[in-house]
Amino acid sequence: MKNKVVIITGASSGIGKALAYEFASKGAKLVLAARRIELLQELKQEITNTEVVIHPTDVSREDDCKSLIEKAISTFGQIDILINNAGISMRAIFEDVELDVLHKLMDVNFWGTVYCSKYALPHLLKTKGSLVGIISIAGFVGLPGRTGYAASKFAIRGFLDTVRIENLRNGLHVLVAAPGFTASDVRKSALTAHGNNQGETPRNEEKMMSAEVCAQHIVKAIEKRKRQLILTFLEGKMTVFLGKFCPKILDKLTFKHMAKEPDSPFK
């Protein structure tokens, strides 16, 4: 990773921030993007062992994504890795949720990935680099109470899998990384049925994989040019396995597991 140019969206907190530190420890040059520029400025000051460029970016806006890629090229002249990490979640059953909430989930999670990937692709093909999407186990199994989130993650997986196949002969590496439940701010900022921030997380974050450990696994998967990374055994690998071979059992287990959340929107 020494001197590789890495773009990370959603870099101001959680997995994105942890990825910034992990790549910096390996000598990569960083282009960090997020909406909260003040947090990016703090992160830039903290990372002193490599070159860091920050760029305010709302990935739901195509022009912002195009500007981000142009910033990376004008600064470093190349792109080796693009990590589409920016994303938001939600918590409401489909019957209650306003459609604007679902549109917002798709705009940020899915279209943000598409926009950044579109403008970065020509440069990644030149370097035979890595195109990465951070999805979730929700990209393999529908999570009740999170219709928009699951739909966006399924869409990202389908999009990136197709881009991989289209470029099998071009040397492009495409990784779809699916962490299990990871300690981060994503649940605190999750949208309710009416589009407000949820606030407090309904889950015990202390029992989850840390963002730092998650980032280490993702970077290793990029180094090994893996096509897919599924993290955690029970909530990750076992869930995907059951989805393939015992889907009815998985439906019941998923419902029961998610219904245990405090103030669950369904019972």
**Options 21, 115, 119, 149, the catalytic residue:** 149
59 vs 69: CA distance, rounded Å: 12
121 vs 78: CA distance, rounded Å: 11
Phi, psi of 25 (to 5 degrees): -65, -20
**Annotated catalytic, 149?**
yes
Could you tell me where the DSSP H helices lie in 60-210?
62-76, 99-105, 112-127, 147-166
Residue indicated by tokens 């920016």: 86
161 vs 181: CA distance, rounded Å: 22
* Tokens coding 73: 């090229």
Residue indicated by tokens 């450990």: 213
Which residues form the catalytic set?
Answer: 149
